[in-house]
Amino acid sequence: MKLLFEVILFAIPMVLLAWTLPRNYVLVSQILITGLFIGYQSPLSLLILTSVTLGNYYLLHKAVLKKSLKIVVSLCILILLIVSAKILFTFHDNWIIPLGMSYYIFRNIHYTIDRYQGRIRDESLLFYLAYNFFLPVLIIGPINRYPEFIRDWQRRRLNSEYFSLGFQRILFGISKIVILGNYLLTSKAPGFIENLDASHVWLKAYLETVTLVLNAYFQFAGYSDIAIGIALLLGFRIMENFNFPFLATNMQEFWSKYHMSLSAFCRDYIFTPLASYYRKPIFGLVVTMIIIGLWHEITLAFLLWGLLQALGIYLATLFKDSPTSWVSRNLGRVFVFNYFCLTCVVTDYGELGKALEVYKILFFIN
């Protein structure tokens, strides 16, 4: 919560300078303020982000190497960095993943691949710095893409609709985090569940599971709203990250609405190449969902979670041609909500042994 309001605090001068400084200095001011924010939070994080940005830019644009070798070296370094950070986080309780690393590494992987494929031609270090040092999406995404960032910069104008919508999204985001997440689901719900009669073991386990999932969702969706809102105030329209995922009627639709920037990234850069090359969509699906799971944390629990997501999506493809009705759509929504909540048991309770005990209760296994 403290980090959230510090982001907003640093965003205020950024927005003011964005519309008062001459255009040539706007991006510089945004880079400097974002740098000050990261340096204030974690000097190590600032050092790593700066090194990644300058190092990847030099490698892709200045290094005298074959184009194919450049992309291989760039991707290997970026993947090694994020995997190393996740492994250290998994095995060392006092290790904290550098601020925003999970997101800016994926943004740089996107930049590297699209640069190699010719979809990115701009060679400006200033724009690349501004793209990586973009405060709204730095901590919890969305994973915005470079061409859209440049397009918005080129079209950027004072827009009262953007300002109105931006403040509205920030208010929505704060409401989701403070009222729904912190107050109802963190402060009130546990007390209500604890006070249930001891005989209601199944209901307690179910409500605890649902509460954990909904709290994580509202926290994450709330920050995404705030990120989108701040970006709108700066004149940028970044992609949505959530689109009422729990109203999806199957797990395939769910993952097109849940953490949409990550889903789209993995679809474009993992699933599509694998499915096309091996001619086996199911292989691409399993690998993609495992990577999404391990992206959160490199543990057996998240590996299993990814496999369960792949299973849910595969089941959806088996019934994609089935006739639909009002009843079947709503039964599908009930299934999606409960299936996702049940898959999160393996990650929400810290230990697989504890998760297994919860599953025994939920499935009436003595």
- The answer to whether the beta carbons of residues 296 and 348 sit under 8 Å apart is no
Nearest residue to 231 (alpha-carbon basis) of 8, 43, 2, 5? 8
Residues designated as active site: 296
Q: For the purposes of burial, counting CB atoms within 10 Å of the CB of 40, is it exposed (0-12), middle (13-18) or buried (19 or more)? A: exposed
Q: Which residue has the tokens 């994450």?
A: 220
Give the number of other Cβ atoms within 10 Å of residue 36's Cβ.
14
